[in-house]
Amino acid sequence: MNRTHALWLAGLVAGCASIQTVAYTVNPARISDPKAEVLTLIKANVRPGCIAEPAFEGTLLNVKFVCSLGVGSAVARLDKVESITLQQYEDWYRVLVHHTVGEDFSWTSKSLEDMQRLADALTALSAPSAPAPTTPTQSI
């Protein structure tokens, strides 16, 4: 998590109740174009006073942002995803992508539906491709 995101989150939860995991079974099959869905949801869920530019670069989702509190970026390494969790704090929801290496990625919104769709799309993008079916060889 980058410094600006961490400071914002720390301020959000300082002296308050803890962040709770939201029970949600991901459904990546409902997202027809996961990359477009991620870009749309990130742009639609930017906090006031911030501008975000999400972009895909290979297996990375890189979200550059500028806020009144600072400048930063958040990176989701789609080839290194260990888990994707939906969380809630009061009326805010967050998708947390925990990586096997490096910093975690998170995005927040007041829309539960948007964060469920984001979790679905990120799950679709991080799932390993199914291996191509093999044809058994026949001996003659």
Instruction: Flag whether 138 is in a domain.
Output: no
Instruction: Flag whether 8 is in a domain.
Output: yes
Please answer whether residues 59 and 77 qualify as being in contact, where contact means their C-beta atoms are separated by less than 8 angstroms.
yes
Instruction: Flag whether 97 is in a domain.
Output: yes
Q: What distance in Å separates the CA atoms of residue 115 and residue 2, rounded to the nearest whole number?
A: 20
Residue-number span of the structural domain to which 67 is assigned: 3-126
Instruction: Flag whether 114 is in a domain.
Output: yes
Q: What distance in Å separates the CA atoms of residue 90 and residue 44, rounded to the nearest whole number?
A: 20
**16 phi and psi angles, rounded to 5 deg:** -120, 180
Count of domains for the chain: 1
pTM of structure: 0.79
pLDDT, tens digit only, all 140 positions of the chain: 555 555 555 555 454 569 999 999 999 999 999 999 999 999 999 988 899 999 999 999 999 999 998 999 999 999 999 999 999 999 999 999 999 998 999 999 999 999 999 999 999 999 865 444 444 444 43
For residue 64, the surrounding DSSP H or E stretch is strand 60-67
Q: Cβ atoms within 10 A of the Cβ of 4, count? A: 18
pLDDT of residue 137: 41
